[in-house]
Amino acid sequence: MTGALHRWLGLLLLAGALALGSAAAQAHPHVWITSASELIYAPDGALTGVRHAWTFDDMFSTYAVQGLESKTKGAYSREELASLAQTNVESLKEFAYFTFAKADGKKAKFQEPVDYYLEYRDGLLTLYFTLPLKAPVKAKELSLEVFDPSFFIDFKLADKEPIKLVGAPAACRMTLHRPNDGAASAQKLDEQTFMGGDNSNFGAMFANKIMVECP
Amino acid sequence: MTPISRRASGRALARGLAIAVAAIVVMLALDGAVHAVMAQNPFGAPRPAEPQASGIVGWLLSKQSEFYREMSATIRAAKSDGSAVWTLLAISFAYGIFHAAGPGHGKAVISSYVVANQETARRGIVLAFASALMQSLVAVMIVAVCAWLLNATARTMCGAEKAIEIASYALIAAFGARLVWTKGGGFMRALQARPQALAVAAHPHDHGHDHPHDDHGHDHHDHVHADDHVHDEHCGHSHGPEPAELAGTGGWRRGFGAIFAVGIRPCSGAILVLVFALAQGLFWAGIAATFVMGLGTAITVATIAVIAVSAKDLARRLSSGSEGGGALVMRGLEFSAAGLVLLFGVGLLFGYIAAERATCL
């Protein structure tokens, strides 16, 4: 009797684990961001930070400006969007700004964003912000990923100039891995997959990975 | 009854348990697989070495996210061309069907509830449709009041969404706790009744004379039949609650609890569509799209609820041959389904389970 009960409980746990596991893989995006970023280097060749320009899709852009006051209907100035930009960067903190950097395999941490503002053009919002590194790094191999682990937001690298190196040493070479070029699937089981604890790192599969090698 | 038949019944019990658990695992795995397929395929996402699904279903799967993106273009188009509204409704319907596979649409809660509470497939369908209807209504209400009447900002709306979200998770947890409480009693009684039931099975003549069902027959020479009727919960041994208790008015009130707990939480996608439609001056088109989306969602949730009920019926049939085990398996199944509702509620509340995020950025 107890044997059967134990077996029953064991299988029950398995079923529960399956249910929770499937919950992790079921998200799909509601917001789309086209991302263009700059890697900013100091004169001594150390990376000091990342500057993002994220353009939201039209549905989310419309949603975000809902109820905002503006002098001209359908146009919003940088000042009129200032409080929204403030809200944006504040809520992005919870998600680590969806920006994950590693210098020679070691996680590089960012400070809170500076120089942030929003622009509204052709019905689309673009959020500009700079993430300074806590400590500038000189890395032989730097990787930068921009993605939402829970895949509520789908990040796509801009077609034109998705990444710019600003002031980088001449010898640095950059490579891009877009999620749909097959390169991304190789990284889906890396360390990122197992951190965070909320079993929702599904978005890593769709990550945009930028590699910069400075020999 | 001889020890041999007792051993045989033990085997039957084990078999019943194994089959019931297998049914649950298969169902959950299927559910998970569907999610994985859906989630993996937003336009051109990597699907290494996996063949594309073919035909209409494959096309719909691969288009799932695009549907959503097309909604904004279609709403824009509807401003000048009224016929685009039909396209919008078609897209919304298809999107609703596939979108419901994602989190936050009450599949788990509704399915677990119908299993825990001995509901019929028909009630599963009613619950799915009612909760989807309520989700649509809440989404429309939030946008109508916040955005249209008060011209509130996205920040306010997202605050409302977050508050409702927490309330919904707390409700699911409370609802699950209540189910666990009621189902736990039945399960414990079934566990305790088990040795008693074996004794009963050895002397079937002493029992069962007061039960109200005439159609059982009283062929005491047929052991299988005798076992069946002794262990049927209808037979006056009062293991677990009577079916009348569950399907009566109280049952409907509890059903309302499920509808409310699930339905109070609107879908972020619907809110985005509604606000967008409102900004385009086509709020009514957004409302129509939201309800059609809800219809699609209901179809998916109802299908899963019906599968859950069928799986449970199968488990009941397969386990009914074993003495005592039948009731035990069923009570155990109901108890675990109740536990699952509680786990979901608590998991969602404390963020262990990833849910659809409110649109707060």
Nearest 5°: phi and psi at B81? -125, 105
Does the pLDDT value for residue B178 go beyond 60? yes
- Taking the CA atoms of B82, B86, B88 and B89 in sequence, report the sign of the dihedral they define: positive
Q: Give residue B41's pLDDT band: very low, low, confident or very high (50, 70, 90).
A: very low
* Contact at CB, A28 and B38, closer than 8 angstroms: yes
* Contact at CB, A30 and B32, closer than 8 angstroms: no
Q: Chain B residue with minimal CA distance to A22? A: B32
Does the pLDDT value for residue B208 go beyond 50? no
Predicted confidence at residue B130, as pLDDT, reads: 92
Predicted confidence at residue A136, as pLDDT, reads: 92
* Contact at CB, B25 and A154, closer than 8 angstroms: no
Predicted confidence at residue B79, as pLDDT, reads: 86
Residues in chain B: 361
Q: Give residue B344's pLDDT band: very low, low, confident or very high (50, 70, 90).
A: confident
Contact B341/B350 with Cβ under 8 angstroms?
no
Tell me how close the Cα of A107 comes to any Cα of chain B, in angstroms.
Answer: 24
Tell me how close the Cα of B213 comes to any Cα of chain A, in angstroms.
Answer: 30
Q: Chain B residue with minimal CA distance to A84? A: B155
- Tell me the C-alpha distance between B297 and B305, whole Å: 12
pLDDT digits (tens, 9 = 90+) for B81-112: 888 899 999 989 988 887 776 666 678 888 88
pLDDT average, residue stretch B333-344: 86
Task: Give the residue ranges of chain A where pLDDT is below 70.
Answer: 1-28, 179-207
Predicted confidence at residue B243, as pLDDT, reads: 41
Tokens of B236: 């006056």
Predicted confidence at residue B202, as pLDDT, reads: 45
Mutate to test the interface with B, among A5, A11, A18, A30 (most CBs of B within 10 A): A30
pLDDT digits (tens, 9 = 90+) for B244-272: 444 444 556 667 888 888 888 888 888 99
Q: Closest partner residue to B152 among A25, A26, A67, by Cβ?
A: A67
Predicted confidence at residue B15, as pLDDT, reads: 58
Q: Give residue B122's pLDDT band: very low, low, confident or very high (50, 70, 90).
A: confident
**DSSP string for residues in B100-155:** TTSSSSSHHHHHHHHHHTT--HHHHHHHHHHHHHHHHHHHHHHIIIIIIIS---HH
The answer to whether position B357 is within a domain reads no
Predicted confidence at residue A120, as pLDDT, reads: 94
- Taking the CA atoms of B25, B27, B30 and B32 in sequence, report the sign of the dihedral they define: negative
> Beta strand pairing status for A106-108 and A47-56?
unpaired
Is residue A23 within 8 angstroms of chain B, CB to CB? Answer: yes
Q: Give residue B241's pLDDT band: very low, low, confident or very high (50, 70, 90).
A: very low
pLDDT digits (tens, 9 = 90+) for B46-89: 332 223 344 444 454 456 677 777 888 899 888 888 888 999 99
Predicted confidence at residue A100, as pLDDT, reads: 93
Predicted confidence at residue B310, as pLDDT, reads: 86
Q: ipTM value, please give it.
A: 0.73
Domain count, chain B: 1
Predicted confidence at residue B3, as pLDDT, reads: 52
pLDDT average, residue stretch B335-350: 85
- Tell me the C-alpha distance between B181 and B111, whole Å: 18
Domain hosting residue B267, numbered range:
3-207+216-349
pTM confidence score: 0.70
Q: What angle do CA B306, B312, B315 make, to 5 degrees?
A: 145
> Beta strand pairing status for A153-157 and A163-166?
unpaired
Tokens of B216: 């059982």
Strand (E) positions, chain B?
none
- Taking the CA atoms of B309, B310, B314 and B315 in sequence, report the sign of the dihedral they define: negative
Sequence-distant (6+) residues with CB within 8 A of A150 are A27, A198, A200, A202, A203, B354, B357
Predicted confidence at residue B45, as pLDDT, reads: 34
Q: Which of B250, B254, B302, B341 is nearest to B121 (CA)?
A: B302
CA distances from B192 to B239, B327, B341 (A): 9, 11, 25
Instruction: Name the CATH architecture for the domain at A27-213.
Output: Distorted Sandwich (2.70)
List the single range of A140-144, B300-304, B327-331 with lowest mean pLDDT: B327-331
In chain A, domain spans: 27-213
Is residue A53 within 8 angstroms of chain B, CB to CB? Answer: no
Tokens of B279: 């900004």
- Tell me the C-alpha distance between B168 and B96, whole Å: 20
Is residue B202 within 8 angstroms of chain A, CB to CB? Answer: no
Q: Chain B residue with minimal CA distance to A14? A: B25
